[in-house]
A and B are shown apart, each in its own frame.
Chain A
Amino acid sequence: MDNTQSIPKHPKRLAKFKQSLSDFFFTLYKINQFILRFFREAFVPPFELKEVVRQCYEVGVRSFTLISVTGFIVGVIFTKQSRPSLSQFGAESWLPSLVSIAIMRALAPLVTALIASGKVGSSIGAELGSMRVTEQIDAMEVSGTKPFKYLVCTRVLATTLTIPILSTYTGFVALFGGYLNVTQNEGTTWTTFIQEVFEPLTFTDFVASLIKSIVFGFTIGIVGCYQGYNSNKGTEGVGKAANGAVITAMFLVFIEEVIIVQITGWFR
């Protein structure tokens, strides 16, 4: 049988694989350079404080409504769904502490980060992408101003600072949702609920949660900026940058979640 025609396929596929592998590592290298550049430029004067504040405001405003609604719903639903399992053991009174551990340790940072990836990450990607495409970044560069500092450092700082705050806020909104559900069913008062909520939480929980949100915020900022700042010329580049920012950020958030949970497990 003559199957010479199928032979060249494999080397080709291999070459393709090699190519995409080396592309992947090259991208990793470039992202690494991008992050290093952030640390090199973000903390040397002159600072763009005004712009950082403006970006913080943008991040907060963009995601505030969605986060409030989602946080509340997550709180209500989680409480409602956990009740049957607990009531099997007659342990409904544990509901507040269960809810608080779930929300403060895991749900609040994660939900906030995912929503911010969608709302904030994509708009950073699109914004910087369109500035790249319309040569606004080049225009900054040739006028002796530092676009990386003005555009990237400010946005990354803003997400890194704001997302932990939003995350805390989401946590409280979710707890409030949980409280409404608990008080309706078990008639628990607000004071008792709050007491039971804070009882199981340790200092490690707060620190771990905070570190997690900071890492998530940094990731969302860096990914959005990287995608936008390095987007291709042409209008489709803008869409790709926005889309890539969301997907990559969400993916990384999950991976980081797993890693951080592992590490904090060792400290408990």
Chain B
Amino acid sequence: MKKVAVQADHNNPVISIRGLKKAFQDYAVLRGIDLDLYQGENLVVLGRSGTGKSVLIKIISGLLKPDEGMVKVFDQDIAHITEDELQKLRIRIGFSFQNSALYDSMTVRKNLEFPLVRNKRNLTRGEINTAVETVLDAVGLSQTINQMPSELSGGQRKRIGIARTLILNPEIMLYDEPTAGLDPITCIEINDLINEVQQRYNTSSIIITHDLTCAKQTGDRIAMLLDGQFQRTGTFEEVFNTNDSRVKPFYDYNFIE
């Protein structure tokens, strides 16, 4: 599927981060993050291993608490809301985990139903089945419905993980390394899926990756995380049109002639 450029509404950030800091023991991982995610765009976050990309989206979804700074999601400061408000907020955010995090004691069907039946208590059996079939169809894996996660390939697990978040119709999607560890063709399929989700579900997304093909194919905007801060933001060309020794190797390695 061809990427359709999105004209993001820059007056309307769905996520807004200012001066975010996070340290583990003595090690400062995030050292003053400023970031806006605008309605409808795909924002790619690039960065080396261990720079705190996963930490960033875990803070956005309330799994980790920030040390300092402000993180607003839909104009709510996630560090200062009640459990109930956080829970309501989380339903609007889809989180695709780096290792898929499928519930390995449940079939694919049960995996997909799990968040649905617990958040919408008054659905009929028929409505639940329809919802499950719809998202499975959206990720192109209808045939796996009765399989266990251990029987799926890495790429399939990623897709089911994405389907499990789509079932709640999220407005924001957070993808943690959606293409890591997959072969190039599966990568392209996942990239297409991300773009498809963006259009079909009208989501705003943060896509974490160190795969530049993925960044190029899915990103409307790229942000480069270096030394705990976003040093370069812009389109793909803008970010990599530089001689910065911390940025260039990234590009060179990904596109070896």
Contacts and interface: CB of A to CB of B under 8 A. Distances in A.
Q: Do A and B come from one complex?
A: yes
A142 interface: yes
A145 B99 contact: no
A143 B168 contact: yes
Interface string A232-266: 00000000000000000000000000000000000
B168 A135 contact: no
Interface of B: 58, 61-63, 87-88, 90-91, 93, 95, 97-99, 101-105, 114-115, 118-119, 121, 164-165, 168
Contacts, number: 60
Interface of A: 46, 127, 131, 134-136, 138-146, 150
Given A139-B103, A143-B91, 12 more contacts: A131-B103, A136-B103, A136-B104, A139-B95, A139-B97, A139-B101, A140-B114, A141-B63, A141-B90, A143-B90, A143-B164, A143-B168
Contact of B118 (A127, A136, A145): A145
A142 B118 contact: no
Contacts of B61: 142
Nearest to A139: B101
Nearest to B121: A46
B103 A143 contact: no
B90 A138 contact: no
Nearest to B170: A143
Contacts of A150: 118
A62 to B, nearest CB: 15
Contact of A144 (B98, B103, B115): B115
A135 B91 contact: no
Pairs of residues from A and B, 10 with the lowest C-beta to C-beta distance, nearest first:
A143-B115, A139-B101, A135-B101, A144-B91, A145-B118, A142-B95, A144-B90, A142-B61, A144-B87, A136-B101
A139 B105 CA distance: 14
Contacts of B168: 143-144
B99 A144 contact: no
B97 A135 contact: yes
